[in-house]
Chains A and B, each alone.
Chain A
């Protein structure tokens, strides 16, 4: 039978999963060559959202660049802000007050929860279950309310500054955060009951696009994508920065519980479990946060010493790295951003060979890519 099918001359279809598509998480173009339903080759074509952020960095000062880091990965804006601040502080050797570091960790972890909620919501929406997306958005709106109290914006926060944070926590912020955590903790098991272990959902994701640990490391995958393949590497544990050594939390690793190790389901469950761990971290941070100033003394026209530095932070999507070269003036000489989603796209072509078209959508969703980061 198979030999007969192969003997029939059929044409390959060239389908353009264009920049405008409901499931490509942004303006991603995938050029699909398919043999019926089975994908022969899927090549991503990026660049539709290029805004020259790295070039802009050469034109503005260090403090002025902070709002641009918001727009790098807008779903994890606090994390990107903090990454930039840590990079410049590493270069210039600025000592950040401890209270500011605790605040940075609290907002980063809250933003991690928010980002994973969107990843979870949009992924299930791509799979056809439209309801969990609305529940995820509802939770995220509560996080946005907390952020609005702290800095005034709901998406592009511009809260972290080089040397600390821009303003201290407002009244009752820690209480409200605790209320939110108490509200949110029972929601994760609810999501698991609703959709995560639903047989149809599991069937869609199990054994699809399994990435072996060797491939994951070889292609430079980081974050939940790497941990989903069973590699227990988390920058917050392996190369700790800021006050992360003070906290007790587990690294969530994929276990191949419903299929092969490293398939879409593993990556998805890693994100769900990471939300639980982030809740733990924020609870501990609220207990341990000290009093004190929130901003170090940084000169108005800040001129770091000549040199270069590379700093990497554990962002919700992976390892965001910033490589900064300074020539002693108020503007950076060159800054290069290592965006985790961009590197993840490297494995896309290899992983999608032999999948069906519906699985391509599952793969894009499980890698949790975001286009502004890819195109910068």
Chain B
């Protein structure tokens, strides 16, 4: 895709025809990466602001409202503050690992933005192993968290890191299992293909959510498992503020702490984007065929729809956080292994049987075919 973009760029600006293609391709890649990264960081900053506002509303108070018009520049103020803080590395900490851990967590979270299908033709890189790549790259977060816990030379951090490792690794199984129905229906791991397979039928009825009862269930299973993947309440044991005094990132200060923080919000977006793409119809605009629309309108409209769906799922995560208490670590593991894993297996079996019996057709399509 980058190559095609590069070629169209050269066509558009003939002055570039003398430069070798691989340079232009590289430039295009860098530009696309910069755009995606900017989006991801801006989103993360604004997500912290929205979280605080949502928390304030739920808690009968006002969130930030002094910095900027409605307090919207709060995240910039926080970012600048964190940048200016003293960089403290504990004396006996394992220096190399201590410095490396935030980067690993950051990469694990933000490298996943590359395969998120933002709209029609708006995807940084439409890998044909989309979901597989996503699962693999988000596992990097586990390594980062464990390194953070270990290298801080602090027992609280160690506890937090070990708990986090156990939690994230255990919940990866239900996450993967719950995404498989969408893959089976689309017949491909590529995210754009999965989104396209939900087209037609007036938008909402094409969604995988309504395809068959098993996919309906798997959306909720996926969402719960994804909450645990991103260490959000009720599964935020690794960073339980009131118990472990911030868990694995207790020794981090300044911009290193900001990396962990931003990575958490980035993870929330990726997970919600995946849920949207696989179950909620992705960028399909209701009542219209997004791919048939004129070029710019199609892109923007589908982008808007996609962001709307994803961000409402993110706000749902915040709503859940401010309502529920947290699970104890053994209850958390019990929930993963005794509830989520069996249910997702049964689910997968159900979807496979359904697809076999009904030749891959969902309920809405069957109803629609009755009416001709």
Contact = CB atoms under 8 A, between A and B. Distances in A.
Contacts of B237: 358
Interface of B: 55, 58-61, 155-156, 159, 233-234, 236-237, 240-245, 322-331
A129 interface: yes
A134 interface: yes
A237 B234 CA distance: 41
Interface of A: 13, 15, 21-23, 37, 124-131, 134-135, 138, 194-195, 198, 200-201, 203-204, 356-359, 361
A37 B329 contact: yes
B241 to A, nearest CB: 6
Contacts of A134: 59-61
B329 to A, nearest CB: 6
Nearest to B233: A128
Contacts of A15: 155-156, 159
Contacts of B155: 13, 15
B324 A200 contact: yes
B242 A195 contact: no
A128 to B, nearest CB: 3
A203 B61 CA distance: 29
26 contacts: A15-B156, A22-B241, A22-B245, A37-B159, A128-B325, A129-B323, A130-B59, A130-B322, A131-B322, A131-B323, A134-B59, A134-B61, A194-B323, A198-B324, A200-B325, A200-B331, A203-B327, A203-B328, A204-B325, A356-B328, A357-B244, A358-B237, A358-B240, A358-B243, A358-B329, A361-B242
Chain A at the B interface: SS class: helix
Contacts of B244: 357
B245 A200 contact: no
A194 B58 CA distance: 12
Contacts of B242: 22-23, 125-128, 361
Nearest to B61: A134
Contacts, number: 77
A201 B245 contact: no
Nearest to A201: B325
Contacts of B243: 23, 126, 357-358, 361
Given A15-B155, A356-B328, A356-B329, A128 B323 contact: no
A200 B159 contact: no
Given A23-B243, A128-B236, A130-B322, A359 B328 contact: yes
Given A22-B242, A131-B323, A200 B156 contact: no
Given A22-B241, A134-B60, A129 B324 contact: yes
Contact of B60 (A37, A129, A135, A195): A135
Contact of A21 (B233, B245, B323): B245
A195 B236 CA distance: 18
A200 B339 CA distance: 14
A303 B58 CA distance: 55
Query: Which 9 pairs between the two chains have the least Cβ-Cβ distance?
Result: A128-B326, A134-B59, A129-B325, A127-B325, A128-B325, A358-B328, A23-B242, A22-B242, A126-B242
A218 B345 CA distance: 51
A200 B327 contact: yes
Contact of A200 (B58, B241, B322, B326): B326
B328 A204 contact: yes
B240 to A, nearest CB: 7
B108 to A, nearest CB: 25
A124 B55 CA distance: 16
Contacts of B234: 128, 200
